[in-house]
Amino acid sequence: MLQKPISITAVSSISPLGKSLSEAWNSYQNNQHLIAEKSFENGKALVAQISIETKQDIEALRLSDNKYKTLDDTVLYAIYASRQAIKNANWKGTDNFGINIGSSRGATKLFENYHKDFLKNNKAKTLSSPTTTLGNISSWVAHDLQTQGPEISHSITCSTALHATLNGIAWINSGMCSKFLVGGSEAPLTPFTIAQMQALKIYTNQSDVFPCRALDLSKKQNTMVLGEGASMICLEKGVKSNALATIKGVGYATEVLEHNISISADAKCFQKSMRMALGKLNPDDIDIIVMHAPGTVKGDLSEYKAIETVFKNSIPVLTSNKWKIGHTFGASGALNIELAVLMLQHQQFIGIPYSENQKKPNKIQNILINAVGFGGNAVSILISKNSVNE
């Protein structure tokens, strides 16, 4: 548990769910997934894309400034969501807030196009390096928002956004910053990125009523689907009256690896991160866990077994959003926080439609959010319904 809570004063995202909290909430109200087939040069794959209307907004952003015309979608998604986040939090660039936005894969579309062009012409284009550098995201967001605070970029695979949250909290608690914009951005719907997941044999190869069977522990084959999007979170020191929720605890741990993508059968990294986030809080007080649950057989089951180990006979209600929007890699943890904040705000549980007899929580006060990526780098964040009396 954190000694001093951190307020979440805004959450903004751009994803298959939409481009605002209200659009995301409305999308969650139905039991339809947002996964569809997309054609690539080397075949077809099931993916979750942002809407045509949202793509038009991104294109308008790209054309709004000559400097933005050459940027990758990951950067444009981040700029779009960040503008909305600080507007909703009532921040100004003069506030000198910090920025930490990461991505698992980075500028996938630009990198693949530049590399294809290099193989064809044996010469790299001038902007191939500056527009595909990982630090590109936070630096462009800082430029766009005109903040003078610290800017950080990183890649810690699928737990990237939650690691950004850890960093923001650490900066705030150090006294070096009172506000931090954190999140993740991902645009991985490109031929080579899809091919990499297929090569790992973790990608879905079937069209089903629900192609991504996240948290279906009875599935016999991997069903991961990729999605795109960005999600940004405004963090502030203390408990603010305008907070959407407060962060009460954080936890993190790294798995002892057997190979590049291994995780233990009972996800010891998650056991450690969840216990650290809980601190002295009674596990019975956790109402919901938003799981990482990527839709793979081993990934889902190992996280569930970790939850069983920590919570024993009082397992909280479990949910995930990947059945609906796919796995957005580095942005997924922040989109998990968005789902948790929405449930806290509306006091309504968003479950998984194909989970038979899924129970509902008696109350929604404390929610635990999980994320983990290649390398076994787990993060758990505990958020609670805001109370200015804390």
Q: Each residue of 160-206: pLDDT tens digit?
A: 999 999 999 999 999 999 999 999 999 999 999 999 999 999 999 87
Taking the C-alpha atoms of residue 186 and residue 15, their distance in angstroms, rounded to an integer, is 10
Domain at 230, CATH number: 3.40.47.10
* Per-residue pLDDT tens over the stretch 66-92: 999 999 999 999 999 999 999 999 998
Which residues have a Cβ under 8 Å from the Cβ of 172 and sit 6 or more positions away? 6, 178, 179, 180, 235, 236, 237
Q: Are 69 and 172 found together in one domain?
A: yes
Taking the C-alpha atoms of residue 296 and residue 286, their distance in angstroms, rounded to an integer, is 25
Q: Are 231 and 256 found together in one domain?
A: no
Return the closest-CA partner of residue 316 out of 302, 306, 328, 326: 306
Q: Are 205 and 114 found together in one domain?
A: yes
Provide the whole-model pTM.
0.96
Which residues have a Cβ under 8 Å from the Cβ of 310 and sit 6 or more positions away? 271, 274, 275, 278, 283
103 is in which domain, residue-wise?
Answer: 6-237
Last residue in a domain, options 182, 210, 237: 237
The alpha carbon dihedral of 37, 39, 43, 48 has a sign of negative
Q: How many domains does the chain have?
A: 2
* Per-residue pLDDT tens over the stretch 296-344: 999 999 999 999 999 998 999 999 999 999 999 999 999 999 999 999 9
Other CB atoms within a 10 A radius of the CB of residue 375 amount to 18
In whole angstroms, how far apart are CA 65 and each of 56, 68, 71, 384, 389?
15, 5, 11, 40, 45
Whether residue 1 is contained in a domain is answered as no
Q: Are 226 and 295 found together in one domain?
A: no
Taking the C-alpha atoms of residue 323 and residue 320, their distance in angstroms, rounded to an integer, is 7
